[in-house]
Structure 1
Amino acid sequence: MMVGEKIKILRTRKKYSITELSEKANVSKSYLSYIERGIQKNPSMQVLTRLAKTLDTTVEYLTGQEKQVNKSGIPIDQEWLLLVDEAIKNGISKEDFSFYLDFVKFKKHMNNDK
């Protein structure tokens, strides 16, 4: 995943508009837009540092040098986070999600018994 995609995801999770993030991080709105859209692929370390601090992350994460991990220390694939975000936006409840997990466990158990 590109730097701009990560920044946009983190920005939307914090419910910041591009204008809000640009003001908080002291980065021009147009430059931030270029980064998010992938037009500017190599922003300066100074800009990345300000964005990372404002988004409560690290430059290493934004540049792909660090992976997020869950409480068990297992690396979290960004695609999983996007899928979970999409499921939540589409109204999945915790109970529904739990049901699907139970179903997957049951199906796996049944396949192992064969």
Structure 2
Amino acid sequence: MVGERIKELRKRKGYSISELAKHAGVSKSYLSYIERDVQKNPSLQFLSKIAKTLDTNIEYLLGQEIEEELDEEWIALIKKAIDDGVDKSEFQKYLDFIKFKKWEERDRSL
């Protein structure tokens, strides 16, 4: 699934595998393995680089689009993180890590 989504987005952008690998700073052979589903567990770092280069997010690559509204508890947690000095970049890395771990757990159960 991840490989299919990467390949689809890559083609929409008009990139060859070589071009995407170069722009994302990843190995061409590893990218090919992911797209062909030879390698099924890409690293979080790899997914992050690919998502950024393809103007998408890790959720989309992992097939986890979320459509939930924020309730007061979520808003309070986010405000607390900001008050504690967590910047957007750090928060995004934390979210990416959590999404990756959930995806990894789901993949193991299949």
Report the TM range for the smaller structure's normalisation: 0.5 to 0.7
Paired with 2:65 and 2:38, the residues of 1 have a C-alpha distance of: 23
Aligned length: 67
Q: 1:33 corresponds to which residue?
A: 32
1:17 is aligned to 2:16: yes
Q: Structure 1 segments of 4 or more deviating over 3 A?
A: none
Paired with 1:63 and 1:39, the residues of 2 have a C-alpha distance of: 16
What is the CA distance between 1:66 and its match in structure 2? 1.0
For normalisation by structure 2, the TM-score amounts to 0.59
Deviations 1:12-69 (A, max 9, x none): 000000000000001100000000000011100000000000000000110011169x
Higher gyration radius (CA): 1
User: Which residues in structure 2 correspond to 1:1-114 (within 5 Å)?
Assistant: 2-66=1-65
How much identity, in percent, do the aligned residues show? 69
**Structure 1 residue matching 2:39: 3-state secondary structure:** coil
Q: 1:90 corresponds to which residue?
A: none
Paired with 1:55 and 1:32, the residues of 2 have a C-alpha distance of: 13
Paired with 1:67 and 1:19, the residues of 2 have a C-alpha distance of: 31
The one-letter code matched in structure 1 to 2:13 is K
RMSD over aligned CA atoms reads 1.4
Paired with 2:19 and 2:53, the residues of 1 have a C-alpha distance of: 10
Q: 1:87 corresponds to which residue?
A: none
Alignment CA distance shift 1:67-1:6 (3 Å): farther
Structure (1/2) with the larger helix percentage: 2
Paired with 1:11 and 1:67, the residues of 2 have a C-alpha distance of: 22
Q: 1:83 corresponds to which residue?
A: none
Higher RCO structure, 1 or 2 (CA under 8 Å, sep 6+): 2
Unmatched tracts of structure 1, length 5 or more: 69-114
CA contact (8 A) 1:18 1:32 kept: yes
